[in-house]
């Protein structure tokens, strides 16, 4: 799959964006289809289509910049009193642009934003079983 997306054009200055923050590794700009006013996207400058391709150090930096943007949103005229982070990894998760991006979504009461879900209450044995399976996968990944 071609790693070149609209976000690559924004990084290169070949497509318009409303920048909020920039350093040598990361760019943050306004989402053109905000789910609430002040919705910001934080992206790594080095293209990575998915979390699997993203340098973990850069993942940490995305989160750090997201924290700063969240603080800025609270002090800005956006005037939110809450913030959600959201990251869609993969088509099934709702990813549309295949250049990793962290959504920073300001929240105000009654703004209409929400995640639809059907939480369940599995028995502890089921939780323990899946926890063991995930621990096993983490060990295998660490050995690679």
12 binds ligand AMP (CB under 6 A): no
Least gap, CB of 86 to ligand AMP (angstroms): 7
6 binds ligand AMP (CB under 6 A): yes
Using CA atoms, how far residue 83 sits from 1, 86, 116, 118, in Å, is 33, 10, 17, 22
Residue 99 annotated to the active site: no
Coil, strand or helix at 72: helix
Using CA atoms, how far residue 9 sits from 3, 13, 17, 83, 87, in Å, is 11, 6, 10, 28, 20
Binding to ligand AMP, residues 83-142 (CB under 6 A): 88, 94-97
Span near ligand AMP by CB under 6 A; candidates 25-33, 52-60, 69-77, 123-131: 25-33
Q: From 23, 66, 60, 61, select the one nearest 42 (Cα to Cα).
A: 66
32 binds ligand AMP (CB under 6 A): yes
d(CA 45, CA 75): 26
13 binds ligand AMP (CB under 6 A): no
33 binds ligand AMP (CB under 6 A): yes
Which residue ranges make up the site for ligand AMP (CB under 6 A)?
6, 15, 17, 31-33, 41, 88, 94-97
């Amino acid at each position: 799959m071609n790693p070149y997306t609209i976000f690559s054009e924004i990084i290169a200055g070949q497509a318009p964006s409303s920048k909020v923050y920039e350093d040598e590794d990361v760019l943050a700009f306004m989402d053109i289809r905000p789910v609430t006013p002040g919705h910001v996207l934080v992206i790594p400058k080095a293209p990575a289509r998915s979390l699997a391709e993203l340098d973990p150090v850069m993942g940490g930096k995305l989160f750090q910049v997201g924290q700063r943007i969240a603080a800025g949103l609270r002090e800005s005229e956006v005037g939110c009193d809450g913030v959600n982070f959201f990251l869609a990894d993969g088509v099934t998760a709702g990813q549309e642009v295949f250049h990793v991006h962290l959504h920073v979504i300001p929240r105000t009461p009654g703004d209409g934003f929400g995640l639809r879900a059907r939480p369940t209450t599995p028995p502890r044995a089921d939780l323990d079983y899946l926890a063991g399976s995930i621990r096993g996968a983490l060990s295998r990944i660490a050995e690679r």
